[in-house]
Amino acid sequence: MEKLLYTGKAKQMWSTDNPQILRVVYLNQATALNGKKKDKIEGKAVLNNAISTLIFQYLNQVGIPTHYLEQISPTEELVKKVEIIPLEMVTRNIAAGHFASRYGVKEGRSFDQPVEEMYYKSDKLDDPFMNASQAKALGLVTQEELDVMWNLSRQVNFILKRLFAQAKLTLVDFKLEFGRLADGQIVLADEFSPDNCRLWDMETANHMDKDVYRRDLGDLVSVYQEVYRRLQTVLEK
Ligand code: 5GP
């Protein structure tokens, strides 16, 4: 019997007959401001699943260890069961969002070196900023695990910056989550979609990500469709 294990803001996790495999169900849900803004958006689940599938398949192919196994329906995928490490690992190539507002700089300023930030994944506490010594003091990760996570984040940034550039999109910033497999190996988990990254159109500078929803800039579904279309074109080559 499959059991619902967890309902998040935009996904559900279900158990399967195989204890090492979970089923993810994407929901037609968009949230922002840590869930304070929330809407049902028809067609969003299919697009998040489709985009994340393209990206995780690509990352698996180039050797990044991920939890992704296969897409089984337009809104569902199978993933390896992991113990999620409750840290949000953010990488920024260009100032935007909270970096711009927190430090009083204009959005669009690019950095010589990517900026790396960590947040404690806790809805109750509003995902507070967390440094490595705090994460270790709380027993969330070891230094060795943090080294692996940042190393993988840097590789993902290098690989995806190039992929999105081919699709005429600038990868401004993104958030990754990692988990431990049963044997302790760290793998990339969660999803990679315009829900957890910022993408700016290289020609028009238009927002092609969830900022369209956060900032009420237009129709989210048509924007995600365009991101999917461009990625598919690039990956089919
Ligand atoms: P910021 O800190 O500027 O809000 O976000 C930086 C990047 O990380 C953005 O690409 C944003 O989408 C992503 N991000 C940060 N926190 C979260 C979160 O709680 N959920 C999701 N889906 N993405 C996040």
Residue pLDDT, tens place only, 30-57:
999 888 899 999 999 999 999 999 999 9
132 Cα: distance to centroid of ligand 1 (angstroms): 19
**Could you identify the atom of ligand 1 that is nearest to the CA of residue 10?**
22
**Could you identify the atom of ligand 1 that is nearest to the CA of residue 100?**
3
Neighbour count for residue 193 (Cβ, 10 Å): 27
173 within ligand 1 shell (Cβ under 6 A): yes
Which residue's CA is minimally distant from atom 15 of ligand 1?
A: 175
What 3 state SS string does the chain have?
CCCEEEECCCEEEEECCCCCEEEEEECCEEEECCCCEEEECCCHHHHHHHHHHHHHHHHHHCCCCECEEEEEECCEEEEECCEECCEEEEEEEECCHHHHHHHCCCCCCEEEEEEEEEEECCCCCCCCECCHHHHHHCCCCCHHHHHHHHHHHHHHHHHHHHHHHHCCEEEEEEEEEEEECCCCCEEEECCCCCCCEEEEECCCCCECCCHHHHCCCCCHHHHHHHHHHHHHHHHHC
Which residue's CA is minimally distant from atom 23 of ligand 1?
A: 196
174 Cα: distance to centroid of ligand 1 (angstroms): 6
Burial, 106: exposed, middle or buried (Cβ in 10 Å; 0-12, 13-18, 19+)? exposed
Q: Which pLDDT score, from 0 to 100, does residue 42 have?
A: 98
80 Cα: distance to centroid of ligand 1 (angstroms): 24
Q: Which pLDDT score, from 0 to 100, does residue 35 have?
A: 83
The pick from 118, 125, 196, 209 for probing ligand 1's pocket by mutation, whose C-beta has the most ligand atoms within 8 angstroms, reads 196
For the chain, which residues score pLDDT lower than 50?
Answer: none
Q: Which pLDDT score, from 0 to 100, does residue 40 have?
A: 97
Which residue's CA is minimally distant from atom 16 of ligand 1?
A: 175
